[in-house]
Amino acid sequence: MRTSPSLPGPVPVRLVNGNNMCSGRVEVLHNSTWGSVCGDHWGTEEANVVCRLLDCGEATSATGNTTFGQGTGPVWLSDVRCNGTEAALDQCPAKPYGINTCHHSQGASVTCSGPVPVRLVNGNNMCSGRVEVLHNSTWGSVCGDHWGTEEATVVCRLLNCGEATSATGNASFGQGTGPVWLSDVRCNGTEAALDQCPAKPYGNNNCRHSQDAGLTCSGPVPVRLVNGNNMCSGRVEVLHNSTWGSVCGDHWGTEEANVVCRLLNCGEATSATGNATFGQGTGPVWLSDVRCEGSEAALDQCPAKPYGNNNCSHSQDAGVTCSGPVPVRVVNGNNMCSGRVEVLHNSTWGSVCGDHWGTEEATVVCRLLNCGEATSATENAVFGQGTGPVWLSDVRCNGTEPALDQCPAKPYGNKDCGHSQDTGVTCSGPVPVRLVNGNNMCSGRVEVFHNSTWGSVCGDHWGTEEASVVCRLLNCGEATSATGNAAFGQGTGPVWLSDVRCNGAEAALDQCPAKPYGNNNCSHSQDASVTCSGKRISPLDGSESW
């Protein structure tokens, strides 16, 4: 059994017997004794308080049935009722300590999204402060010796805090007291986390805390898309009272979807649905009867019913599909993962010139289309000549960008290329597994592709060996957790696989013994999930990053 370290301050809380430092049975310290919390009114709001206090992100599940085993000490708290914004559990109404009839079979548990490997401290709000990263279970500073907008942008995006408005390297938010972990950090701004940026080895520097890096972000982005096919599609969720919740689709249309797409820098709305197209949410339904004209800067500028005041169910959850960033497609190929590369601009599909087209650029396209790795990149109209404009030329990617419009290139349409130079790609093929509804590209519910349909994997025998196969296939390092209780939400398609039994060395899940596809009695409440370490192996040179 492992425990996370207790924190100083009111009602020390810890998680025990979990899969990692951010999951487990909830215990609180009272009268110098650790005891359980009764799950009689335990939900997302209460779990969020615990996760935030432990620097573990957001709650992804909250259970009251001893998911992580029964405690042996007293049951200290029961009937805990938080709104989710409290700084500690003792700020939430509850029965007096030890006054309850609960048994340990009702012990409260949480699974949090995971330790966010970066935090901001001593700032003016949740989106400003001194930058600290987590390494060896210890928070430490980042040296400001090469700290600029690109590096700050990575942090702001990871914390869902919008864009970087300032980046300082002179301890503007006070000096830290722990180690200085990172120095000479050099990002291009597109990385998913600071440890994907080149830097000196952890702790290998002569920086002082007078050089601690700090930043200010534009503010928390109050909307996100989850469970979609890419970064610009999914179920719409908004942030209120520190908790993410759905939007009811009772009056959801193009105008409302356009506000979301524009805010997320995802172009225009191509579809707006109100019937849980991207799966049902599990938190509150915050907004309903939203009525935008389409020009608003955020959803909360549109008339709507008060937050949480509705009778909507999650079967009405709103979803959107946006046009961008830089939608890309492959046409005239041998399958869905090969063909001439075309991008959408000004509502028109056009070609990409092959004047600097290579593996790095093709890799971006293949990854965006969930088509694995690039096996070839051509520049002489191998898949036929296009008939529309040639939109892009002199595209120069490093291969890590999430979309082509993040790669340097000449302005749209500014070229002297002919269609005889149209680019093409051949990818290794649709990756037969994906992670959805996670906190990043290397965590989420496991889904496999069969009969042209994505479906879940049953968690009835889901463990580290099976999760390791998924993480390795997705270039996501090692498995840090493997759960079988829909930790990242329930799927909506078929449950394809069950009783999967890997030894951990297989190249894909379909190499592991399992019941035949679709032959099981599993429900989506048992959907398998994984969290991977995030270390990725470059398909270009075999180097490791993140």
CATH number of the domain to which 84 belongs: 3.10.250.10
Rounded Cα distance between 205 and 179, Å, is 10
Last-in-domain residue among 217, 246, 274: 217
pLDDT for 4 = 30
On the question of a cis peptide bond just before residue 325, with omega within 30 degrees of 0, the verdict is yes
Q: For residue 411, count other CB atoms closer than 10 A to its CB.
A: 9
User: Of the candidates 427, 451, 467, which is a domain's last residue?
Assistant: 427
Asked whether residue 292 is assigned to any structural domain, the reply reads yes
The verdict on 101 and 144 lying in the same domain is no
CB atoms within 10 A of CB 9: 11
Q: Answer with the one of 408, 427, 446 that is the final residue of a domain.
A: 427
Whether residue 4 is contained in a domain is answered as no
Answer yes or no: is 481 within a domain: yes
What pLDDT, on a 0 to 100 scale, did the predictor assign at position 452?
A: 58
Same-domain check for residues 385 and 422? yes
542 belongs to a structural domain: no
In a domain, 417, yes or no: yes
Would residue 399 count as lying in a domain? yes
Judge contact between 373 and 428, C-beta under 8 A. Answer: yes
Q: Judge if 63 and 131 occupy the same domain.
A: no
Number of structural domains the chain divides into: 5
Residue 540 in domain: no
Separation of alpha carbons 265 and 402, rounded Å: 13
pLDDT at 110: 92
Within this chain, do residues 407 and 485 fall inside the same structural domain, yes or no? no
Based on the fold, state whether residues 193 and 268 are members of the same structural domain.
Answer: no
Whether residues 339 and 312 fall in one domain: no
The 3-class secondary structure across 177-244, one letter per residue, is: CCCEEECCCCCCCCCCCHHHCCCCCCCCCCCCHHHECEEEECCCCCEEEECCCCCCEEEEEEEECCEE
Q: What is the pLDDT of residue 229?
A: 64
Neighbours of 5 (CB within 10 A): 9
- DSSP three-state, residue 498: coil
546 residues of the chain, pLDDT tens digit each: 223 322 233 357 888 877 666 788 999 988 778 899 999 989 989 998 998 787 677 788 898 888 888 888 899 999 999 988 777 788 899 999 999 999 888 999 998 876 557 888 887 666 789 999 877 667 899 999 999 999 999 898 777 677 788 999 999 999 999 899 999 999 988 776 787 789 998 899 999 999 999 998 877 657 888 877 666 788 999 877 667 799 999 999 999 999 998 777 677 788 899 999 888 988 899 999 999 988 776 787 789 998 899 999 999 999 998 876 556 888 887 666 788 999 877 667 899 999 999 999 999 998 877 677 888 999 999 999 998 899 999 999 998 777 787 788 888 887 689 999 999 998 876 667 888 887 777 888 999 877 657 789 999 999 999 999 998 877 788 898 999 999 888 888 899 999 999 988 877 787 788 988 888 999 999 999 999 887 443 333 333 333
Residue 537 has what pLDDT? 34
Rounded Cα–Cα distance for residues 323 and 313 (Å): 28
Q: Are residues 133 and 107 in the same domain?
A: no
Q: Report the distance separating Cα 12 and Cα 259, nearest Å.
A: 42
CB 337 within 8 A of CB 322: no
- CA–CA dist 195, 440 (Å, integer): 14
Question: Could you tell me the maximum CA-CA distance found in the chain, to the nearest angstrom?
Answer: 79
DSSP line for 356-408:
T--HHHHHHHHHHTT---EEEEE-S-TT---SS-EEE-S----S--SSGGGS-
Are 102 and 145 in the same domain? Answer: no
Domain of 467 in residue numbering reads as 433-532
Note whether 230 and 294 are same-domain residues: yes
Query: CA triplet 358, 362, 364: central angle to 5 degrees?
Result: 130
Q: Are residues 58 and 42 in the same domain?
A: yes
Residue 458 has a CB neighbour count (10 Å cut-off) of 24
Q: What are 298-327's pLDDT values in tens digits?
A: 787 789 998 899 999 999 999 998 876 556
Q: Nearest Cα to 377, choosing from 408, 354, 397, 400?
A: 354
Q: Is residue 7 a part of any domain in this protein? A: no
Report the first-to-last Cα separation within the chain, whole angstroms: 29
Q: What is the DSSP letter of 317?
A: B
pTM here?
Answer: 0.35
